[in-house]
Structure 1
Amino acid sequence: MKHIFIVAALALLTACTQTPDWDYDKSANFSNYKTFAWVENASLTKDTNNYQISGLMEKRVRNAVNNQLSQQLGMQLVDVAQADVLVNYHASVDKELEVDSFNVGYGARWGYWGTGFNHDVSAREYEVGTLVIDIIDRESNQLIWRGAKDGRLKKKQTPSQREAAIKETVANILSNFPPKAQQ
């Protein structure tokens, strides 16, 4: 029983992760990168059949990345041949299990000896989506920066809610591009 509680606690902590994960090449000179383009065969919908990763979602993610790099970072979207860096992205959806275990009561009776505990365990399956954004040095064709974020997917959202969620997620992922502290 102790192991179930530990697994459930770890699953809950993992599901609640709000900080994106970043990695980058410390030898890359990020100040040289002023222009960007998309990898020619970049596709969010390739190799997935989840209904939430659709052409509509792909368009929202591309627009959010373009706006973040252009408006927030001052980079310019250009043709692939003129770009300093190329942008690629990936998305996946995994199923997670949330388990709750708790005592729901304690009782004692008059007239005879005895006590009792009521114990309840419940499990729920939910989907976790992960968005990965890669930045590739066009000249060397080497990955120089990667950011990723995962979160619990919400169903029954309006298109406006989905767009707002994507904008927030992309801004959060790209908040450390270029890396603030190159250590």
Structure 2
Amino acid sequence: MKKRLSRWMFLPALLLLLAGCGPAAHIEKDQAFNFSNYKTFAWVDQDGAGRNDRNKNNDIAETNIRAAVSKELTKAGWSETKRRPDILLSYDLLVERSTVQNNDPVYSQPFYRTFYSPYYRRYFIVNYPSQFIGYDRSERTIKEGTITVNMIDAASGKTVWQGWATDEVNNRNISSKEIEAAVRSIFKKADLAKR
């Protein structure tokens, strides 16, 4: 019994660790917006620029973002349609350079000193432990990728919901795994399944 119980004790710690590993997601929505009023969606270019849109520069990223968002919405019971959708979807992808400041604590080196005591007629070793001196501040340049998903009410043309996630990426183009993780965290924050 104890052996089985000890196996399950690590599960909450593992879940907390995994929950902190995804990109940070943020949500903004219209106060009147309710997910239960919408069931169909379609993809559009919000500005109508088509092939000149900066989102179109990377067709692979566009395909991956649309597939990841469609997957999350389909899991929540929505369906994609070309005829009279409830919601129009658009996205924005931005990869930019940013700097991160690191503040690493600095400690002095511990050392020992030897003293002779004439009273006891012997040597004593005194330990001086390391002490906090301050911080070593440094900066490094990183690439930060941000995916933003917009939901536009098809009837009114108003943006009713917006979600975005930002995370450090390895190169100029964001990978499919990074896209999936970002979109998953956005819709996890939106919590579509409960609505």
TM-score with structure 1 setting the length: 0.66
* Matched AA of 1:140: S
Select the residue among 59, 67, 78 that pairs with 1:63: 67
Select the residue among 143, 146, 155 that pairs with 1:139: 155
Shift of 1:56: 1.3
Q: 1:145 to 1:120 in 2, by over 3 A?
A: closer
Q: Distance in 2 between matches of 1:142 and 1:39?
A: 14
RMSD of aligned residue pairs (Cα, Å): 3.5
1:24 aligns to what?
29
* Matched AA of 2:30: D
Other structure's SS at 1:82 match: coil
Q: Distance in 1 between matches of 2:50 and 2:152?
A: 15
* Matched AA of 1:66: S
* Matched AA of 1:19: A
* Matched AA of 1:38: W
**Cα offsets for 1:104-157 (capped at 9, x unmatched):** 64488x9xxxxxx79854321011111110111100011111101100012399
> Does residue 82 of the first structure (1) align with residue 84 of the second (2)?
yes
Question: Does the CA-based 8 Å contact 1:104-1:120 persist in structure 2?
Answer: no
1:165 aligns to what?
178
Shift of 1:44: 11
Question: Does the CA-based 8 Å contact 2:44-2:88 persist in structure 1?
Answer: yes
Q: Distance in 1 between matches of 2:66 and 2:59?
A: 11
State the number of aligned residues.
151
Q: 1:74 to 1:118 in 2, by over 3 A?
A: closer
Question: Does the CA-based 8 Å contact 1:17-1:150 persist in structure 2?
Answer: no
Q: 1:130 to 1:42 in 2, by over 3 A?
A: farther
**Cα offsets for 1:23-79 (capped at 9, x unmatched):** 11121342121110011448799347xxxx722111111111111111x11111111
Q: Distance in 2 between matches of 1:44 and 1:97?
A: 32
Select the residue among 27, 43, 53 that pairs with 1:46: 53
Question: Does the CA-based 8 Å contact 1:45-1:58 persist in structure 2?
Answer: no
* Matched AA of 1:21: H
Q: Distance in 2 between matches of 1:45 and 1:130?
A: 20
Shifted more, 33-42 versus 58-67: the winner is 33-42
2:146 aligns to what?
130
Rg larger in 1 or in 2? 2
Other structure's SS at 2:24 match: coil
* Matched AA of 1:74: G
Shift of 1:92: 1.4
Q: Distance in 2 between matches of 1:172 and 1:42?
A: 29
TM-score with structure 2 setting the length: 0.63
Q: Distance in 1 between matches of 2:185 and 2:135?
A: 40
Q: 1:20 to 1:136 in 2, by over 3 A?
A: same
Q: Gaps spanning 5+ residues in structure 2: where?
A: 1-20, 114-132
2:165 aligns to what?
149
Q: Distance in 2 between matches of 1:31 and 1:119?
A: 51
